[in-house]
Amino acid sequence: MSRRLELARQRYSSGGWPAVGDLLAAPFAPPAMRPRAGFSYSKWISSYDTLNAANRSAIRRHIAAMPRRPLISVVVPAYQTPARILRETIESVRGQVYPHWELCIADDASPSSHVTDILREQAALDSRICWIRRETNGGIAEATNSALALATGEFVALLDHDDLLAERALYEIAAELERHPGTDLLFSDEDKIDEVGRRSEPYFKPEYSYDLLLGQNLINHLAVYRRALLERVGGLDPSLDGSQDYDLALRAIEVIDPSRIRHIPFVLYHWRQESGGGSFSQRRLEACLRNARMAVRRHLDRMGHSAAKVSEAPLARIWNRVAWPVPDPAPLVTVIVPTRDRAALLRSCMDGLLRQTAYPALEIIVVDNGSVEDDALALLDTLERDERVRILRIDGEFNYSALNNVAARQARGDILLLLNNDIEVIADDWLNELVSLAVRCDIGAVGAKLLYGSGKIQHAGVRLGAGSFDGGPGIAGHIGLFRSATDPGYFGHLGLTRDVGAVTGACLAIRRDVYEAVGGLDDTRLKVAFNDVDLCMKVRQHGLRVVWTPNAVLYHLESASRPSDDRPDTRDRFRRECRFMQASWRGELLNDPFYSPNFDNTADDFALAWPPRQRASWEPWRKPN
């Protein structure tokens, strides 16, 4: 929190309260990204994010070949901006490789005359620059709306008065619009820049994730809107200064289809940091936090979700948690627990379900796959006396997919919960959280935050294609592995509900109708490994989202009751399952939408990729899909 407060002080010092803008609604800076030895972000920039003369020539050829070259209006609210900084911001627009822009600036009644003098001077130098001086200071939202009134472009890019656009920023916007001409809202990656031009702390974002947006202002920066969309939603709301951009994004996504929102995985925006800084009011900080949550609250109310509750995220108060309601009456959940012997594991798991879980509507199907040990058989007999428990006995080889599929066909619940027998309950509200998400019509599968017995993270979602196999992409890997349970992660990704490529079947909630619609688990080709990843891929292919939540936390003892895939008698089966996943989902494994191509998928989480797993837009330029 201290770093965010310092940044706020810097903004306040250089431009007053309106200049703080969206600072406090944006996510925290990340911990170090654990780069490979000898590598750094500055070297990465030099290698992969610096244009040379050949790049610029290729970009200009691409622009000349574009069938449409939309005019992009860059809108800037300015207030008491230091002269050097204002000139650098304007120069970052004038230096764009893409020439089809206009710069619209509103001076929000700055008391110093240098702001007006610079704007008048710059407009005389470049006819694409237009400006207005407001008679009274109205705040960042009012000033932005005044600048927006000058705009004539088909698209509008929002730029703060002290930040910088990357040289290729508007070109990348135009290139993405060429590929996806129906786009209404675009956002890019961003980083920080200091007073001498040093860049740091890149936020390499995932694709658009609605639940992540509720947790943090994912859209900023760079945010680009179709101007007609801004007119439709009525511009920025002055009552939410400090979180006005957050509120704008939330109102915009209410009226467009998610397919019309595009993420550009390049750093196109440099968020300025200045050294030093002055005093900053804690009262103002609290007001901004309230405005951020008020923006989310109003959005949920407009969308008919008044029962959802907005609060600070448990791991950091700057972020938001939305707690969704469980329907009344609560839908019946069928918990499917495959098991074989290992009575101590099953006893702990069942005790958590039957005695430590607050959810009121449970049936439990324990699928016994050939237990022979006396204590296990005695436990099964005891469990069967509970009216909430049924024992389904299926002998033969261990086939995780088949065990779950047979149980699912006998389930009475509207929600299925696939649960390993080595799961232990920590807090009684875990299932309420999973059900509250699983019942939402746009969500197909939900996963939980799983911890090792040591308290370290075992699962915070799955990244697709992690590692490698037989010279091709790997299949999957757990995000957050061995991180502290209290670690918020890279820009909050271990502390916020968000979309993921897949979640583990060790604890996976899914509506029964969805499970049936996608054919359940593949019990012929994926008997043991990756059936959960395959299920999640089918769910996403079905048009539904896969979501992970940090607010359902359990212990997982990592498949303690089944044989290891490294044993000789299982290794061949495991390799066949890997090859099947590669053949079936190669494109998805190579391009997880929720794990940036700027990260190395063969390394630890969020380590820089050398080179990135994507080609530049201009070499060669890509045709629209």
- DSSP type of residue 391: E
Q: Which residue has the tokens 């709301």?
A: 237
Phi-psi region of 354 (alpha: psi -120 to 50; beta: other; left: phi over 0): alpha
Q: Where are the alpha helices (DSSP H) in 439-524?
A: 512-517
- Is beta strand 199-203 parallel, antiparallel or unpaired with respect to 316-323? unpaired
- The answer to whether 28 and 488 have CB atoms below 8 angstroms apart is yes
- The answer to whether 421 and 391 have CB atoms below 8 angstroms apart is no
Residues in a beta bridge with 155: 72, 226
Tokens at residue 55, please? 């790049």
Task: Give Dmax over CA atoms of the chain in angstroms.
Answer: 90
Distance CA 150, CA 130 (A): 7
- Residue 369 CB partners (closer than 8 Å, separation 6+): 338, 339, 340, 394, 395, 396, 398, 403
Distance CA 89, CA 105 (A): 11
Distance CA 223, CA 189 (A): 10
**pTM exceeds 0.75 for this model:** yes
pLDDT value at residue 567: 63
Q: For residue 433, give the nearest of 420, 418, 452, 446 by alpha carbon.
A: 446
pLDDT in tens, 453-487: 999 999 999 999 999 888 888 999 999 999 999 99
Q: In this structure, how many other beta carbons lie within 10 angstroms of the beta carbon of residue 513?
A: 10
- Residue 46 CB partners (closer than 8 Å, separation 6+): none
- DSSP type of residue 484: B
Q: For residue 556, give the nearest of 461, 419, 428, 429 by alpha carbon.
A: 419
In the chain the first and final C-alpha atoms are separated, in Å, by 43
HSE-up of residue 383 (Cα within 13 Å, Cβ side): 28
Distance CA 441, CA 248 (A): 24
Instruction: Look up the CATH architecture of domain 333-590.
Output: Alpha-Beta Complex (3.90)
> What is the CATH code for 2-28+55-310?
3.90.550.10
- The answer to whether 495 and 316 have CB atoms below 8 angstroms apart is yes
pLDDT value at residue 317: 79
Q: Would you say the CATH fold of 333-590 matches that of 2-28+55-310?
A: yes
Q: Which residues in the chain land under pLDDT 50?
A: 1-35, 37-38, 276-283, 560-562, 621-625
SS3 527: coil
Tokens at residue 399, please? 């086939």
- The answer to whether 102 and 128 have CB atoms below 8 angstroms apart is yes
- The answer to whether 338 and 400 have CB atoms below 8 angstroms apart is yes
- Is beta strand 333-339 parallel, antiparallel or unpaired with respect to 362-368? parallel
Q: Where are the alpha helices (DSSP H) in 280-438?
A: 282-302, 343-355, 374-383, 400-410, 430-438
Distance CA 563, CA 570 (A): 8
pLDDT value at residue 615: 85
pLDDT value at residue 9: 35
- Is beta strand 155-158 parallel, antiparallel or unpaired with respect to 462-464? unpaired
Axis-axis angle for helices 2-20, 282-302 (nearest 10): 80
- CA angle, corner 498, sides to 4 and 414, nearest 5? 145
pLDDT value at residue 624: 42
- Is beta strand 199-203 parallel, antiparallel or unpaired with respect to 223-226? unpaired
Calculate the dihedral angle through the C-alpha atoms of 345, 351, 352, 357, rounding to the nearest 10 degrees: 160
- Is beta strand 476-478 parallel, antiparallel or unpaired with respect to 498-499? unpaired
Q: Which burial class, exposed, middle or buried, applies to 565 when counting CB atoms under 10 A from its CB (0-12, 13-18, 19+)? A: middle
Tokens at residue 132, please? 């207005």
Q: In this structure, how many other beta carbons lie within 10 angstroms of the beta carbon of residue 4?
A: 17
- The answer to whether 341 and 367 have CB atoms below 8 angstroms apart is no
Q: Which burial class, exposed, middle or buried, applies to 234 when counting CB atoms under 10 A from its CB (0-12, 13-18, 19+)? A: exposed
Domain boundaries, the chain: 2-28+55-310, 333-590
pLDDT in tens, 424-433: 999 999 999 9
pLDDT value at residue 124: 97
Distance CA 403, CA 367 (A): 7
